[in-house]
Structures are given as C-alpha cells and as structure tokens.
Amino acid sequence: MSTTTFIRTADLKGLVADFNAAGIGVAGPARTSDGAVDYQSITSFDAVVLDAQPRNSLKQFFLPPTEPLFKYARQGQDVAILEVPMSFPPRVLIGARPCDAAAVEVLDRVMNWDYKDEPWFARRDATTIVTFACPGGDRSCFCTAVGLAPDATRGSDLLLAPAGDGYVVEIVTPKGQKLVDAYAKRFATGAGVDATKAYRDTARASVEGHVPARPDVIRAWVETHFEDPFWAEISMRCHGCGGCAASCPTCHCFDIVDEPETLTEGVRRRNWDTCQTSLFTMHASGHNPRHDQCGRCRQRVNHKFAIYPARFNDILCTGCGRCARTCPAGQDVTEILTRIVAMATGQGGAA
C-alpha cells in the first residue's frame, strides 16, 4: 500500500497558484462556453468541477487531435527532414478521474509495443496526473467490470479522496512523491485512508452491476463469434459517426498525412482517426475488407475486449461509459457486453 498524506482544500488552491507561479501548466475539469465540463487549461482551482464526468477524456493531453511529427522541405531532387520539438513543458493534470488516468497507463502498452512512441512518452514524462477518487457514476459506468474502481490508482501519480476539510492523498508513484516533496508546505498530516471509506463505498455501489464482471467470458465469446448475427443486429442503428471513438479515453488510432505549407515545404501530421468510418480500412485498390457498419461495430468491441487482451493482457476499456453517453443513436456498450455475457452463458441470443 502506498503512503498517504493530507491536503486541505485551501492548500489545494494554493498549490495550483504555486504551479502557475512556477510556470507549470495546469489542466483540469472546468465548464465550457456551451455549459459542458471538459478537461482544459485552468489557472485557478476554483474553476475545477468535480461532480460531473468531463465530456472529453485525458488522451488529448498525450495524443492531441492533431500534431506535427516533422517538417519537410524539397531541395531539388532531395528532401530535407526538419525535426519538430519533442520535449514538452511540465504540466499537472488535476482533478483527473480514475477511469481516465487508468486509460493513459493502458495505452502505454501499445505506445511502447513494437516502437516507442516518442511524443507520447515525452508528454507522459512531462505530465503529473493528480486524480480525484470518483464520487460515483451513472448507469453507463462500469469500471468495476473491467478490473478498475472509482478509487483505482492505476495511471495516477497521486490519488485524492475527500475527508473533512480536505483530501487524503495517496502517493502512488515516485513522480507523485516528487510533487509532494517539492511542495511539502502545502501538505500536512490529517485523516488517513480509513476516513474516506464511506465515500469510496458509495461511489463503488453506484457503478456496480451495470455489466457482469466477466471479461474472460466476453473475450472468449467475441473470439469465437466473428460471424454471429448479433453484430448485424446492433450495427443497424450505428451511423458510423465515430463519436464513441472521439470521446473514448482509450481509442488511439491515428492517421498520418503530409500537408504542404508552400510549394516546397510541408508538415507531416498525425490526426485522430476511427475504425467506425469506411475510409479507415479502404484499400488503394478500392477493396474494403470492412465493407459495412456491421464489421466496424464488431471491430470496436473486438479490439477492446479480445484483441488488446490477447496482445497485451489488458482490456482497452476503462468502463467510463462515454461512448454510451455520446452516441446519437443510443448504442450502449453496457447493453452489448451484458448481452454477450448472457449469450456466452446460455441465457440469451440475438433478438
């Protein structure tokens, strides 16, 4: 078990002021102009909104929607490659949700698989994640069904849970310890983890039972039912809009494009992409192995609950429920997974 310390709410505000003064970027969940809550840059802890799940996830801080990989310049027959900076200023993400912090750690697997993704890990190194234990979720939350919890520490450097006039701070990583040491005057002795038990229990109760906690059963069924009519049935309502992937903390597929800036110079960029569109798998020949939405809906479930577990022994889903909340057509991952478990255990089939 990690060591703990305590921070009063007033000191938490002071801590954000300290970061500002030290030139450390701070981002956290705050209101947007359209009334939603997004993780975004903040300058004061007063802006932080902790009682609503942010609309976006944390992935944009490590894999931005667009980023330059390098610049190029044609010089006669040659092409010169001009590096772009791959070091990033320090940043603290404060008020992260445990499902979002865990997602970043889940993605470290694929980002360091056959190739170490330089910008991803440069941003990871520059960033400290200060997570707040989740107060509880709605019917689309199911973190406990994928091995996490509203107070899971995975991916966090510090985990805060409210107690009295402040927060019990679990120091999860050496990076978290470093932050506590650097701002020691902001931390104090106070309540221990036991004081947060009721808070944690309430949160856990609010997310449990939404999906059976049977990831092995789900994986086995998905691996053996590639042609099942279930996929055709659920895909009918799907528009292929990719809203699920855009809001997902673990969907990480990207496209790479060369964009000319002048006649002789340009930038190679990578941009978010999604397996929910036709273009994602379109071959230059015109053949498309995933020729309709049925294959694309299956792919999303397959990648998260079968392919990623097979390759990395990890689930590419943290149970945040954003895909269900954002879907304009009411596609619901909790329903899909619950039905898969029912079919696998002989209690149901395709409607």
Partner 1 sequence: MTELRELARRLLSEGTVNAVLGWEEGPRGARPAFVTTPDGADRLIFDPRCVHDLASYLSPRRPHLKKLGKVAVVLKPCDARAVAGLIRETQIPRENVVLVGVRCGGVLADPESTAPLSETTVADRCRGCPDREAKLADHVVGTAGAGFPGPSRRAQKIEELAAMPVDRRWDFWQAELSKCVRCHACRQVCPLCFCERCMADKSLPRWIESSPHARGNIAWHITRAMHLAGRCVDCGECERVCPEGIPLGLITRKIAQVVSDRYDFRPSDDPAVPAPVGTYRMDDPQEFIL
Instruction: CB nearer to partner 1: give 177 or 206.
Output: 206
User: Applying CB under 8 A, which of residues 43, 44, 271, 345 lies at the interface with partner 1?
Assistant: 271
Least distance in angstroms from the C-beta of 36 to partner 1? 6
Would you call 77 helix, strand, or coil by DSSP?
Answer: coil
Query: What's 165's DSSP letter?
Result: T
Is position 62 an interface residue for partner 1 (rule: CB under 8 A)?
A: no
Farthest CA pair distance, the chain: 70
226 contacts: CB under 8 Å, gap ≥ 6: 298
User: Applying CB under 8 A, which of residues 245, 275, 315, 341 lies at the interface with partner 1?
Assistant: 245
Is position 310 an interface residue for partner 1 (rule: CB under 8 A)?
A: no
Other CB atoms within 10 A of residue 30 CB = 20
Q: How far is CA 3 from CA 131, 173, 177, in A?
A: 15, 10, 9
With CA atoms as reference, report the closest residue to 302 among 243, 220, 232, 210. 220
| Residue whose entry in the numeric block shows the structure tokens 């900076």 | 85
Is position 277 an interface residue for partner 1 (rule: CB under 8 A)?
A: yes
Instruction: CB nearer to partner 1: give 131 or 293.
Output: 293
Query: Which phi and psi (to 5°) does residue 160 adopt?
Result: -105, 140
Binding track over 187-226 against partner 1, x by CB under 8 A: ----------------------------------------
Quick one: which H or E segment has residue 221? helix 215-224
Site size for partner 1 (CB under 8 A)? 46
| Residue whose entry in the numeric block shows the structure tokens 């449990």 | 208
Instruction: CB nearer to partner 1: give 176 or 243.
Output: 243
Binding track over 117-146 against partner 1, x by CB under 8 A: ----------------------xx------
Other CB atoms within 10 A of residue 36 CB = 12
Least distance in angstroms from the C-beta of 21 to partner 1? 28
Is position 30 an interface residue for partner 1 (rule: CB under 8 A)?
A: no
Is position 57 an interface residue for partner 1 (rule: CB under 8 A)?
A: no
Is position 264 an interface residue for partner 1 (rule: CB under 8 A)?
A: no
With CA atoms as reference, report the closest residue to 323 among 234, 263, 199. 234
Is position 325 an interface residue for partner 1 (rule: CB under 8 A)?
A: yes
Please give the structure tokens belonging to residue 142.
């199911």
Within the chain, strands assigned E span 3-8, 25-31, 37-41, 66-75, 78-83, 91-96, 127-132, 158-163, 166-171, 254-260, 265-272
Instruction: Report the number of secondary-structure helices (H) and strands (E) in the chain.
Output: 12, 11
Instruction: CB nearer to partner 1: give 265 or 292.
Output: 292
Least distance in angstroms from the C-beta of 259 to partner 1? 5
Distance CA 208, CA 217 (A): 18
User: Applying CB under 8 A, which of residues 4, 196, 250, 293 lies at the interface with partner 1?
Assistant: 293
Strand 25-31 versus strand 91-96 pairing type:
parallel
User: Applying CB under 8 A, which of residues 279, 285, 287, 289 lies at the interface with partner 1?
Assistant: 279
User: Applying CB under 8 A, which of residues 98, 155, 215, 243 lies at the interface with partner 1?
Assistant: 243
Instruction: CB nearer to partner 1: give 54 or 98.
Output: 54
User: Applying CB under 8 A, which of residues 153, 334, 337, 341 lies at the interface with partner 1?
Assistant: 334
Instruction: CB nearer to partner 1: give 14 or 64.
Output: 64
Q: Which residues bind partner 1 (CB under 8 A)?
A: 32-34, 36, 55-56, 65-66, 139-140, 232-233, 235-237, 239-243, 245-247, 255, 257, 259, 269, 271-272, 274, 277, 279, 291-294, 324-326, 328-330, 332, 334-335, 351
